[in-house]
Structure 1
């Protein structure tokens, strides 16, 4: 027991001494270390602390006697002198004194400025410390030895980076203690050794490297013994109990740290011995040897490894070959080392590299079918090798043509061997290969590009066989992606030559139709000519065969195949290589194909693809969207290399030369298509118009306006004048003709919106003159199309609204009562652009115009129609976002101007306007809570409205406060805490309009964020009872959760976060979903409707027993057509419903009849 307690005490003392060495004192030149130690340990009763303070005091007394400054350099000199004097006289220093001095010195040295320690002083000091350790190593505690080693390690780099005689002694000591049996001493010595080697110059480093080599060679016999030991899974090795064997492991750990700094000659000699320590079986040295090899590969030049590269590869392959008997982590490390070795050989010696590439690659590929963990590691290693080692250019001539001579080289032989290995892997699979194997094959396809048609033909055929066999098997998506990579690499022409889609006339079937969706998804960089000469004839023949098929199933199958081939058109328009040469005939083909209605959307998509991709290249946004859309990594995509801005410009000219023919053909289709098909056609027309000469587009639009609309209107007016209005049938005929004319006008206005982007000033003015009458009309015909076209003009041509500013403002604001609901969003888009321009300007006369637009938006926020309110909310958000993203230096000024204008409505306005302004501020605060601090007058201005008596305003302000406390962080919320509490609490006693509930929710959020103590400090005494009830309610929720048996603190925090998120979504809007933000600020109308229904007809969950008995109808009757809350009819029907069910039925019937009559009257009025 005594020995155990003594050992524990000694261990505790060592821990305390180590803590003292890590003390952090300020590194000041005049620091009195002794004084600081005395202050820190003056109350400590530990013996090591008393010894430390006594030694420090003794050193200080020496300095004071000699009248030296009490600085770290002086303390250092005095300490070294004391140790030297004491060791000169044998036996005068006991272990406690040595421990105290060594601890004091290790604390002192980091405070000594390096410039005050010359090379000679450092060398002498290191010699003194080495003499102190000599012969006393086993007698001193680990903490004392660690302190001395740390001090020597500090001094070693200062002894002279170019003087081997000065460095030799401390370096030998550090090497000796780097394999010490005591862990903390050993780790300290190894860290000091690493720092010392990094500080040495080239001359010292060469001699130090030789010293390390001699030390390593001394342990080679022991290391060979250990490497020969076979360790099974989970078995213990008793050989490591030998101290000498353990020193081998410590030596390898130290070697790993300093190896990057050793000379190349020594590293080469070390390497020649290290790979021999890796046998076929796992041994105690395997992990250490692999780690050291990893350091060598990472830190050494390629030339260092060449001499032993083949031996290293052979050794690693032999170890990996017994993977079932060796630990998985070492197998993965060995595979990584093989890749690193090949990476080094690739640039150093290509003959050795190409010789070892196939065996290494095939060895790693063999692990793709292993468990997921090792298969993923093997996949990543192989992908790295493919990316680094495979280069298609070595098989091509300068003209990007295949070189026959390159097909007989060692590189081609190695590549064929690797592809053969993959064929064998696929043949060995009973079903679809796993995703890791297919991912590697995909990368190989993409890296080799078009030359994969030579080396990977058999792989393509095997993959196609798997597609046929494994139609319903799992992993089909990965197999399709792999074949898609082959399509990208080889091109559809080569793929279809290997896997042809063919028609069997006798059987009325098609083969390999599974390839069609893959081609649609992955074809890129093909040619228009191939589509016209191969895909079109094939699609026509299959379509013709479908008409001759006898069975319905065969007809459906053939038609599906034909339509699938036609739908390949957009894919073949992705960066075709012959646009400028073949677009003329291609455009003629498209005009013919437009006769088939099922081709309209496909042709529109193809034309958009052709135009947009070339325009993106010219603008510099090359391939951005395409890379995201393709389901493969962007690094591997082999897009057509010939595409450049010059080629794209040439393509645009070719497209423009045939664009008017296509525009006219598409316009005819557009006029005769149903509404759901028009958007695609309109986008295609817009793309073509944007690259067509503007004068041609203007003539085209003028012809439409002149011959299709004006003549139709004139005809309609003539009919109205000539035909008597008394005849109902003739009146209906005139009405139908008038509707057809209006319908044509609407179509042309809708078409005009697609011509806006590339139009010049003359065409824009013509379009505006054409859409202005519908914008001003009272009947609402073509209004939606006209407003949308106007919004497009606003977006694309800033000069337009600048030149006609006053006219446009009057137009947009003067027709508010006549604007239909579905036109409001386009109208607000125009108002958004106008208001942003006004706010960017500092001109005083623009304020009136800005207030007119803002007044319209704020009034609309209170509109009874939900969709119109939402449009206003979204517009306000867009205005805020546009102002915030301005590129100017003072970009916040326009946004603050908007805030100030909205805040102007908070004084002197009607309650309706004030509540709308508060709602607008709530939305902007939710979008950007930082505006509360950047606009300091915002909070006081809004909170003062709580003193008004208008319920509408109070409700809006409480909603504003709720948004504010939900969005602000606790630190920011603290600034407004007192104002918020004092502002909302007077309404905590008012239950009308749910004011009390709203205040309670606000207080709960504030308490959760700021803490009840902070809130209580600003809480007025008269509302303390209400505050305590809120706190008590929160505690009751917490206690109920504690009763569930889970951790109450964690659940409370989680529920608080969920509650905050829920309140933030439901009460403040959802900015992340765009237009949905406005829904959160749209609750007032829903609450009104709910309360109106509740007044005479309470909600089921809150009914009393008497009310339940008074309810005369069951849910079954209600489902048959009897409604508890009729849609109209007022209170009379509600009263009758409560008194007598028969009367309710009769009134409900009467109501339905009145509804029918009302609809009939409205219909007649419309006809008139």
Structure 2
């Protein structure tokens, strides 16, 4: 077999040793070794041999630590130190060439702190972010050090005002360009913390200086200085009061900034646009009034008496004229980039314009939206969206309605998903803004938008468009339609518009379902919440259609159940069961609609007890009879189980109907039925317990509590009998505990005479029971539930007779002699005593105050007689 030859080419020979030199390992190039030989701290970093003297001094170590602090790339500490040594302020500035750096308080603990002891936090950014490789930072640090020394010599406190005044003087006196740039950079840091009165006082001189510098550096290659100047001018103009904006010179300074908003350099353009936006929206007279501090705040309020009434900035007209000049046909044709920059400025400033200016700008925006450039149309949509989103009062209701009608005419093609989403989002925000201004105009315009969404946009095959339209409809329903249906008067006023909206949404239910199926069903849950209380009859056809689409194994099961629960909460069980009846033509429960029963229990709130008794209870009794019939025949056991489940589910609706019922007075007719079912039907006790707890809850009306108190004699004795029956299974044990919870809640709502009567009866039953037996423990729990609501005298009598002997472990017939039973008896007694002492009821608090010394003595004496299990409760 032949050999396979490798097709890989072998690498060429690299460096090789000459003959006889293979044992030599030293390389030919020794650059790093030679540097190591020269020693790092040697003053002259050359390749000469090291001197005999030791170069590792404390000064060298100090320099090395400083270098590591700022990670210099090329410039060394010696360079920085040398540049600062040559800088002098006076004859003796503490930085001579031979002397060492004097120690200062390192406010920020950085390398720059060694050369400037400035304590003003406005310059913290320079001191913490100092880079020795930057010439600008060196100049800034030198100027800052000089100004700090001057301020200290004059006895100043290094305030922002002092630095501001000295920086302006330094900039005006400087002749070299690098000194001016460094001064302006420092000024941009410190001017933000200068008090507004100082900026107003020095406005003319400072603004003139900044404008001259802008003209000087307009052609400069350095963008930073222009950005610094723009920022300083912005802070200066924002601090001026309303009266200053009546001068033509102020508008000249503003126009100077405005010219940079379409600059070709992005950083300069963004800085200028940010400056204009901050002036339009953030000037001192545009901001809401704040709490004054001393006399300065009082003076500011006197200077600006009408601050809260100013809705637009005086310079907004300048911005309007400037932007409209960029929308001329020749600019649109030759410089669309300038148009985009202008739209970017408008997006953030338009809300602060006058109403007339907003109208003019919007007209021009609509006119240029016909351009072929998709970026121009997108930016126009963004500007309009921001205008609506800010909820500006300058965009009044009439103008907003007209603008929305005009935007409808610029509807993009449905296949252009991004443009369509932008269009629908703008219209959504516009209608939300219009609803806050004038709801009637919004409701007049809203059906048109819903018609477009449901008949066209919602039927798109693009999922992102369907989701976007669904979110739009959801917000409009929650913020506009729900407001129009808040009261019966509003609902009658806007009924035609709401009916049109419901009709448009109902049409989608009748169309074949596709990708939008789950979105449509979930939207109807919002519809039921928004207008279900006032438009129940109009929504019943939609609910019927949704119910017919239910399939227990279908993909839309969860969405349909969520929507039906919303309908039950809003429309009420009566209308829902009228649209989706539970019974068939023969009056029997329809098994196909049994899925409604768990939903009814969860969603029923504020329902009618009369409806439950006249419609639900007959179905439950019918199912119970069929259950008994099939169970006795023994031939259809499966049907017996089905009707058993239906009967229990129908009774399970009772707690929902008792949750804040509309007709609590109907309890008088329902109470006897519930009492009989509680006593004779153990399988229905759980829902009846839940219903009683709902009716006794604090959220119920006083009328409901009063009616329940009237039937205390009907329910409480039955509950006592249930609790005293020994359970045979764990389920019965759990139901017994729930019966005690109902007793405790019910006894608090019972009338005083009923409480006293039941207390006497319960004490007699307790006395007649064998100590520590099941019956005794049951009656003790019942008495513990009743004694809490007794008067102080009754609590004292019960304590002396049934509790104190147990606590003292007396030899009494009321105290068990069996050790285990005695432990249980003591534990129950201690728990009851703790409950009485911690209760907020007036009678319990009175009992605790009146018998405080007695209780202390009993508890101290019981230290030796109390079992170990009860020591924690005793403490």
Q: Structure 2 residue aligned with 1:184, among 263, 267, 272?
A: 267
Measured after TM superposition, the shift of residue 393 of structure 1 is 7.3
- CA separation in 1, counterparts of 2:836 and 2:237? 72
Q: 1:177 to 1:118 in 2, by over 3 A?
A: same
CA distance in 2: counterparts of 1:139 and 1:323, whole angstroms: 49
Q: How many residues align?
A: 699
Q: 1:755 aligns with which of 752, 773, 786?
A: 786
Q: Does residue 221 of the first structure (1) align with residue 328 of the second (2)?
A: yes
Structure 1 residue 568 displacement after superposition? 1.6
Give the 3 Å change call, closer, same or farther, for CA 138–573 of structure 1 in structure 2.
same
Secondary structure of the structure 2 residue equivalent to 1:750:
helix
- Among candidates 490, 498, 507, match of residue 415 of structure 1: 498
Q: Is the 8 A contact 1:264 1:300 kept in 2?
A: no
Is residue 687 of structure 2 the alignment partner of residue 598 of structure 1?
no
Q: Is 1:98 equivalent to 2:177 in the alignment?
A: yes
CA contact (8 A) 1:306 1:345 kept: yes
Contact 2:705-2:749 at 8 Å conserved across structures: yes
What residue in structure 2 maps to residue 679 of structure 1? 737
Give 2:647's aligned residue.
Answer: 562
Distance in 1 (alpha carbons) for counterparts of 2:718 and 2:311: 85
173 and 498 in structure 1: CA distance in 2 versus 1, 3 angstrom threshold: same
Q: Which residue of 2 aligns with 1:325?
A: 416
Are 1:262 and 2:343 counterparts?
no
2:316 and 2:354 in contact (8 A); partners too: yes
State the partner residue of 2:442.
353
2:316 is the alignment partner of 1:209: yes
Q: Deviations over 1:5-39 (max 9, x none)?
A: xxxxxxx99xxxxxxxxx9999x999999x99999
Partners of 2:588 and 2:166 lie apart in 1 by 103
Matched with 2:656 is 571
Cα contact 1:756–1:793 (8 A) shared by 2: no
Q: Deviations over 1:192-240 (max 9, x none)?
A: 33344443879997763332222222211359947xxxxxxxxxxxxxx
Pairing 1:269-288 to 2, within 5 Å after superposition: 269-279=360-370, 283-288=374-379
Deviation digits for residues 324-374 of structure 1 (CA, Å, limit 9, x no counterpart): 3242xx654443332221123225445542232123245556559987766
CA positional deviation for 1:181: 0.8
2:832 aligned partner:
792
Secondary structure of 1:474's partner?
coil
Cross-structure match for 1:809: 859
Q: Encode CA deviations 1:162-207: one digit per residue, 9 max, x unaligned.
A: 3432213222211111211112222222233334444387999776
Q: Per-residue deviation at 1:767?
A: 4.8
Question: Given that residues 769 and 776 in structure 2 are in contact (C-alpha distance below 8 angstroms), is that contact kept between their aligned partners in structure 1?
Answer: no
**Residue in 2 that maps onto 1:689:** 747
Superposition pairs of residues 435-446 of structure 1, within 5 angstroms: 436-446=519-529
1:830 aligns with 2:863: no
Query: 1:332-481 maps to which residues of 2 (within 5 A)?
Result: 332-363=421-452, 366-367=457-458, 378-391=469-482, 406=492, 411-428=494-511, 430=513, 436-467=519-550, 470-481=551-562
Q: 1:189 & 1:537 partners in 2: Cα distance?
A: 77
Shift, 1:280, TM fit: 9.8
Residue number in structure 1 paired with 2:39: none
CA apart distance, 1:460: 0.8
Aligned-pair distance for 1:438? 3.8
| Structure-2 change in CA distance of 1:102 and 1:428 (3 Å) | same
What's the offset of the Cα at 1:72?
A: 4.4
CA separation of 1:435 and 1:224: change in aligned 2, threshold 3 A: farther
The structure-2 alpha-carbon separation of the partners of 1:307 and 1:394, relative to structure 1 and needing over 3 Å to count, comes to: closer
SS of the aligned residue for 1:451 comes to coil
- For the 8 Å contact 1:368–1:376, the answer to whether it is kept is no
Q: Distance in 2 between matches of 1:205 and 1:256?
A: 16
**Cα distance in 2, alignment partners of residues 779 and 270 from structure 1:** 93
SS state of the match for residue 245, structure 2? coil
Query: What is the CA distance between 1:274 and its match in structure 2?
Result: 2.0
- Contact 1:62–1:78 (8 Å) recurs in 2: no
User: Do the aligned partners of residues 445 and 796 (structure 1) sit closer, same or farther apart at CA in structure 2, a change above 3 Å counting?
Assistant: farther
Q: Deviations over 1:112-150 (max 9, x none)?
A: 756796768643554455455548733553334334444
Equivalent in 104, 107, 111 of residue 186 of structure 2: 107
Q: Are 1:777 and 2:862 matched, yes or no?
A: no
Q: 1:604-643, aligned counterparts within 5 Å?
A: 604-612=689-697, 616-617=698-699
- Where does the alignment leave 5 or more consecutive residues of structure 2 unmatched? 1-73, 76-110, 287-309, 807-812, 839-843
Task: Show the counterpart of 1:540.
Answer: 621
Structure 2 distance, partners of 1:359, 1:259, is 27
1:654 maps onto 2:707 in alignment: yes
**Are the structure 2 counterparts of residues 195 and 177 from structure 1 closer, same or farther at C-alpha, using a change threshold of 3 Å?**
same
User: Which of 245, 251, 267 lines up with 1:168 in the alignment?
Assistant: 251
CA 1:433–1:205: 2 relative to 1, 3 Å: closer
Alignment of structure 1 residues 1047-1058 onto 2, 5 Å: none
Measured in 1, the distance between the counterparts of 2:659 and 2:127 equals 79
What's the CA shift for 1:59?
12
Residues 683-705 of structure 1 deviation map (CA, whole Å, 9 limit, x = unaligned): 22222222223443343343355
Structure 1 position 742, deviation (Å): 3.2
Distance 1:40 1:472 in 2: 66
Following superposition, the deviation at residue 487 of structure 1 comes to: 0.9
1:742 paired residue among 773, 780, 788: 773
Question: CA, structure 1 residues 429+141, in 2 after alignment: closer, same or farther (shift >3 Å)?
Answer: same
Is 1:296 aligned with 2:387?
A: yes
Q: Is the 8 A contact 1:435 1:478 kept in 2?
A: yes
Q: Structure 1's 59 and 434: CA in aligned 2 closer, same or farther, altered over 3 A?
A: same
Note if 1:498 corresponds to 2:579: yes
1:485 partner SS: helix
Deviation of 1:656 after TM superposition, in Å, equals 1.1
Within a 5 Å distance, the mapping from 1:659-1058 to structure 2 comes to 659-672=712-725, 674=727, 676=733, 677-706=735-764, 742-765=773-796, 767-768=798-799, 769-770=801-802, 772=806, 775-778=815-818, 780-781=820-821, 784=824, 787-788=827-828, 790-798=830-838, 799=844, 803=851, 804-806=854-856, 808-809=858-859, 813-817=863-867, 824=869, 827=870, 830-831=873-874, 835=875
Q: Is the 8 A contact 2:112 2:127 kept in 1?
A: no
Deviations 1:985-1043 (A, max 9, x none): xxxxxxxxxxxxxxxxxxxxxxxxxxxxxxxxxxxxxxxxxxxxxxxxxxxxxxxxxxx
Segments of structure 1 that go 5 or more residues without pairing to the other structure are 1-11, 14-22, 87-96, 227-241, 618-642, 714-738, 836-1168
Query: Are the counterparts in 2 of residues 290 and 334 from structure 1 also a CA contact under 8 Å?
Result: yes
Contact 1:663 1:685 in 2 (8 A): yes
1:281–1:319 CA contact under 8 A, matched in 2: no
Structure 2 distance, partners of 1:710, 1:785, is 14
- 1:574 deviates by 1.0
Q: What is the CA-CA distance between 1:586 and the residue it aligns to?
A: 1.8
In structure 1, distance between residues paired with 2:125 and 2:858: 82
- Output one character per residue of 1:915-949: Cα deviation in whole Å (capped at 9) or x when no partner: xxxxxxxxxxxxxxxxxxxxxxxxxxxxxxxxxxx
